[in-house]
Amino acid sequence: MTPDCGTYDVLAGNGGGAAVAIKHPRHLETGADMRALTLVADRKLELADIAAPAAPGAGEVQVRIKAVGLNHLDLWGYRGMAFVKRKLPLVVGAEAAGEVTAVGAGVSFAPGDAVVMYGALTCGACNACRGGRDNLCENVGGIMGFHVDGFARDVVNMPERLVVKAPAGVAMRDLACAPIAFATVEHMLFDNAKLKPGETILVHAAGSGIGSAAIKMAKAIGCTVITTVGDDAKAEHARALGADHVVNYRTDRFEHVVRKITAKKGVDVVFEHTGAETFNGSLLSLKRGGRLVTCGATSGPSTTLNLMQLFQQQYKIFGSFGASIENIRTVLAKMAGGLLPVIDTEVALADFERGLARLETRQVFGKVIVNF
């Protein structure tokens, strides 16, 4: 099985600036150990007591985690993949928001600041990082919560450059959707597909965290949105979000409905992440010269492609993974302006697996949030 992150090549080892010592917790003068939710084997999580990190060093920010957003990435990691370079136990949680508790020398944050974290340990020095394209980093040290220790713990020390200040007045549960879900959608729609006001877009899986975000972001700039759902209850939710047309993919061939809605012309953009089951139908839904952007393959990683159709129809296909730190700043500003994520469920740390089960069974409409 291939994960959404494909062949992302990373180093093994602990990250986040704080190695986790599960077996021999180190007690700090400042008090007790802290909680960390660890993956100890495929599909097996354990709540561990680990040592709280030391005071932040120069250039580091210490963050108390308040909320973790779940993504399909967490599900891929939880199920286990033989070829992924990682060491267990691994602290899970790839997307989080929290509050600064302490800062090291030379850091511009202050205790009490609300922040979100960029969860890939990028180098900050390569051409891609210096050009603001951290998701193309040539020396990435892993994705936190997937390859290296993540955010499902009470406190974490982070390099300052991977911490982004959040606007006041936005709830932690909403902020926790910024670094992966919202920023990924921002990057797909606007950096890659270059979606413009007035265009028509097909968004797959309105009920997913990124699908619901894509609908809201596309409607916010005045696009016509066609979306797919797997049941009628989700269709109602999708319309409430502003989707102009909703197709139940279990009862109708979405590509036929799209051609009908667009008077056989096709859409300008398709937002793909479902993969094998939908990819060819997605291409058939595009107008000539249309753009398809994809960040996932939840229904399977492989498909066949009609190359004659690809060049004759002049399709543009964009693979998209992660986001830039600037994308996170942009979506935080959108949240401050009222464009908020759809939250399906909020669970406590001990119910992390219940949250994953909702994602796995596709019961969700919107994001699952784990509160601390």
For Zn ion, the binding residues (CB under 5 A) are: 122-123, 126, 129, 137
Minimum distance from residue 83 beta carbon to Zn ion (Å): 23
Which of 105, 75, 56, 61 has its CA nearest to residue 368? Answer: 75
| Spatial contact of 220 and 212, defined as CB atoms under 8 Å apart | no
140 CB-side CA count, 13 A: 24
Phi then psi dihedrals of residue 239, to 5 deg: -65, -40
Minimum distance from residue 123 beta carbon to Zn ion (Å): 3
Name the 3-class secondary structure at 93. coil
Residues 85 and 198: their CA atoms lie apart, in Å, by 44
Phi then psi dihedrals of residue 140, to 5 deg: -65, 135
Query: Among residues 51 and 183, whose Cβ is nearest to Zn ion?
Result: 183
Minimum distance from residue 331 beta carbon to Zn ion (Å): 22
| Spatial contact of 67 and 44, defined as CB atoms under 8 Å apart | no
Q: Give residue 257's identity as a one-letter amino acid code.
A: V
Q: CA of 178: how far to CAs of 188, 189, 213, 254, 304, in Å?
A: 14, 15, 10, 29, 33
Query: Among residues 161 and 316, whose Cβ is nearest to Zn ion?
Result: 161
Residues 193 and 215: their CA atoms lie apart, in Å, by 14
Phi then psi dihedrals of residue 264, to 5 deg: 70, 5
Minimum distance from residue 93 beta carbon to Zn ion (Å): 23
Phi then psi dihedrals of residue 130, to 5 deg: -70, -25
Minimum distance from residue 333 beta carbon to Zn ion (Å): 25
Query: Among residues 133 and 334, whose Cβ is nearest to Zn ion?
Result: 133
Minimum distance from residue 38 beta carbon to Zn ion (Å): 28
Query: Among residues 141 and 355, whose Cβ is nearest to Zn ion?
Result: 141
Query: Among residues 129 and 148, whose Cβ is nearest to Zn ion?
Result: 129
Query: Among residues 22 and 126, whose Cβ is nearest to Zn ion?
Result: 126
Minimum distance from residue 136 beta carbon to Zn ion (Å): 8
**What order of strands is seen across the sheet that includes strand 267-272?**
245-248, 224-229, 200-203, 267-272, 286-294, 316-319
Phi then psi dihedrals of residue 5, to 5 deg: -90, 5
| Spatial contact of 39 and 9, defined as CB atoms under 8 Å apart | no
Residues 304 and 27: their CA atoms lie apart, in Å, by 56
Which structure tokens are listed for 66?
């308040």
Query: Among residues 162 and 246, whose Cβ is nearest to Zn ion?
Result: 162
Minimum distance from residue 118 beta carbon to Zn ion (Å): 12
Query: Among residues 122 and 212, whose Cβ is nearest to Zn ion?
Result: 122
Query: Among residues 122 and 200, whose Cβ is nearest to Zn ion?
Result: 122
Minimum distance from residue 158 beta carbon to Zn ion (Å): 16
